[in-house]
Amino acid sequence: MTPDQLVEIELIKQLKYKYMRCLDQKRWTEMADVFTADATAAYSGGKYSYEGRDAILEFLSSSMGADTFHSSHHVHHPEIQLTSESTATGIWALQDVVIDLKWEITIRGAAFYNDEYAKQDGVWRICHTGYRRLYEEMESRKDKPELKLTASWWQSDGQSDINV
């Protein structure tokens, strides 16, 4: 690994971070830029698989677009390998939380991503992404008076109701 290669690896990490940020902030237009046009996805061990950037974006924005849907998708442990001047692979660990106020559920999980990246016109993009779950659990939020949502990006301008 050379310092110049490390720069490429950092650019790939920033690409992934932009993708995750656009996902949790519901920035679908900005997100389009992170995928190649022919990108493929295989989420949840392949259960949710899509071909092409448009199909991926349609799935994500339709399943996660509601402002009652809160999520944090955090990726860790990047093992990025440059496989040529314009291709790379990446393994990442995922930890995610979903709080859905409409369905009154919390989902918590962990997974490993296997990604592929391509550099096109000087810009790194995701050409394949997919993850396999280590575990996932779902919990009902109904009948839990002791549990309260105290802040929301969409419903409280990101401010907390809690007074320190």
Q: How far is the CB of 50 from a second copy (least distance, A)?
A: 12
Give 47's DSSP letter: T
Q: How far is the CB of 55 from a second copy (least distance, A)?
A: 14
Instruction: Give the C-alpha separation, 80 to 10, whole Å.
Output: 9
Nearer to a second copy, 38 or 139 (CB): 139
Q: Does 37 bind a second copy (CB under 8 A)?
A: no
Asked whether 49 and 43 are in contact (CB, 8 A), the reply is: yes
Q: Using the rule CB under 8 A, which residue among 37, 63, 86, 123 binds a second copy? A: 63
Report 40-59 residues binding a second copy (CB under 8 A). Answer: 44-48
Instruction: Give the C-alpha separation, 159 to 164, whole Å.
Output: 13
Hey, is 67 helix, strand or coil?
coil
Nearer to a second copy, 120 or 159 (CB): 159
Q: How far is the CB of 67 from a second copy (least distance, A)?
A: 11
Nearer to a second copy, 119 or 132 (CB): 132
- 119-148 per-residue burial string, b: 16 or more CB within 10 A, e: under 16: beeeebbbbbbbbeeeeeeeeeeeeeeeee
Report 100-159 residues binding a second copy (CB under 8 A). Answer: 107-112, 131-140, 142-143, 146-153, 156-159
If binding means CB under 8 A, how many residues of this protein chain bind a second copy?
A: 70
Asked whether 110 and 131 are in contact (CB, 8 A), the reply is: no
